[in-house]
Chains A and B, each alone.
Chain A
């Protein structure tokens, strides 16, 4: 191995898949070999069968759908609010000076800590779930977008000025298109975080969703179901991340 030497596409996929194979082998060895008793960790075959039953008999697909809807809903609302505010802060320093201290403070408030309050304010319905994801995502989006837009290359701005651009054109024709790929990457990152908030929101005061199912399984001490639920979240996260990445690379071909 040499530092920074690239690997072939095939080798990359084989190595990435290899890790999952090893993990599965370790899991199988520990459970079938009796190192960990089934009470704490069910074996892979049992887990898969449980997963199949969850979909076939307990309508788990509906839970998955609801969870996806909550994540996407809360995330989209956060992006609609956060991206324009971040752009305004990045481009105009007085707006940044006004909002930045509050946003920096709010960013450190853990979204999960708001759950009791939000239940009080919004009940245990969808509003509360979306609010948790919104609070968890919006401040991160605002700050990161503001930094991205604020770090637009000065020489590009100056070049645009000498070509007759006014301040509005600088924002619309230089800062926005220049920042767009990084903003999209930021959204991809935050979408991942939104997934962690939704499960927390569903662990408390929910009657549907993947988090709710995991909570129910805990009461039944069914580690197979719990692991399958966590596994599902991982798969959905991986798929949505790949989709997002693929989309960014298509839309912003000039940047990649």
Chain B
């Protein structure tokens, strides 16, 4: 069962100039329930972004398939909203126009999301006038205003400083607690993974596959002080062991 089903997925990138092909993803299976918040956690280069891009339809699997609400994913579509690590606001559109870009967004919905992401007063600003955190908040509003079935987040706070990142986590979590949208979140930050999600899927070093899954039983609504609680620390200790082992493997592969 599952709202989003990733079935026996593999991805091999062809070699460049007769070089050896790169196996980015080994057989990967994952099910995400409706309204769930799942994090893919893994060391850099483990294929977690590749997996997310395949779910988005921006890349194709070598074998296997992705089903969303029983429909096979073959191409990108408005049912899978995405926020990227890089700043992808359209620079020629204002904040409001960016949020209205999606085919299903209306001005009323856009205004509602401007409020939810605390951007009132900045509706008519161009992206270059905004800080990184504000740009990512706009990108989040843009994805949500299009009312996707699932929200795909590819390290959306990765380029932000620590303080802004913590605030963004709370903002996203608050929106999720209110709307319960299905979310697939990619990160390499263990604290972020525990704080945000209901379930963490740990990915191995390349070729990536899901090595372990950990259910996070912290109650909602979550408060930032939870990050220093004993339960949080236990989850962190467990995930750190997993990630450390994989990071060492990943580092050795580079030599």
Please report the total number of A residues contacting B with Cβ < 8 Å: 20
Q: Identify the stretch in B28-36, B82-90, B176-184, B233-241 within 8 Å (CB) of chain A at 4 or more residues.
A: B82-90
Would you call A164 and B84 a contact (CB within 8 A)? Answer: no
Q: Identify the stretch in B3-11, B63-71, B96-104, B213-221 within 8 Å (CB) of chain A at 4 or more residues.
A: B96-104
Would you call A174 and B90 a contact (CB within 8 A)? Answer: yes
| Residue B223 CB within 8 A of the other chain | no
Would you call B58 and A160 a contact (CB within 8 A)? Answer: no
Please report the total number of B residues contacting A with Cβ < 8 Å: 28
Q: Quick one: closest A residue to B102, CB to CB?
A: A163
Q: How far is the CA of A255 from the CA of B129 in the complex (A)?
A: 11
Q: How far is the CA of A218 from the CA of B202 in the complex (A)?
A: 82
A-B pairs, top 10 by smallest CB distance, nearest first, are A164-B78, A161-B76, A164-B103, A159-B88, A163-B102, A162-B82, A254-B126, A177-B92, A155-B88, A254-B92
Would you call A159 and B78 a contact (CB within 8 A)? Answer: no
Q: How far is the CA of A165 from the CA of B86 in the complex (A)?
A: 19
Q: How far is the CA of A156 from the CA of B82 in the complex (A)?
A: 12
Contact of A163 among B58, B86, B103, B128 (CB under 8 A): B103
Q: How far is the CB of A180 from chain B (nearest CB, A)?
A: 8
Q: How far is the CA of A66 from the CA of B29 in the complex (A)?
A: 73
Residues of A close to B77: CB separation below 8 A: 162, 164
Would you call B143 and A156 a contact (CB within 8 A)? Answer: no
Q: How far is the CA of A173 from the CA of B56 in the complex (A)?
A: 20
Known: A177-B92, A255-B91, A255-B92. A160 touches B101 (CB 8 A): yes
Known: A162-B56, A162-B81. A156 touches B88 (CB 8 A): yes
Would you call B82 and A159 a contact (CB within 8 A)? Answer: yes
Other contacts beyond A155-B86, A155-B88, A163-B142: 14, CB < 8 A: A156-B88, A158-B58, A158-B88, A160-B101, A161-B58, A162-B57, A162-B58, A162-B78, A162-B82, A162-B152, A163-B143, A177-B90, A178-B90, A180-B92
Q: How far is the CB of B186 from chain A (nearest CB, A)?
A: 14
Q: How far is the CB of A176 from chain B (nearest CB, A)?
A: 10
Would you list 29 pairs from A and B whose C-beta atoms are within 8 A, ordered by A residue? A155-B86, A155-B88, A156-B88, A158-B56, A158-B76, A159-B139, A161-B76, A162-B57, A162-B76, A162-B77, A162-B82, A162-B143, A163-B101, A163-B102, A163-B143, A163-B146, A164-B102, A164-B104, A164-B146, A165-B103, A173-B101, A174-B90, A177-B93, A178-B91, A178-B92, A180-B92, A253-B126, A254-B93, A255-B91
Q: Quick one: closest A residue to B76, CB to CB?
A: A161
Q: Quick one: closest A residue to B139, CB to CB?
A: A159
Q: How far is the CA of A34 from the CA of B182 in the complex (A)?
A: 86
Q: Quick one: closest B residue to A256, CB to CB?
A: B128
Q: Quick one: closest A residue to B129, CB to CB?
A: A254
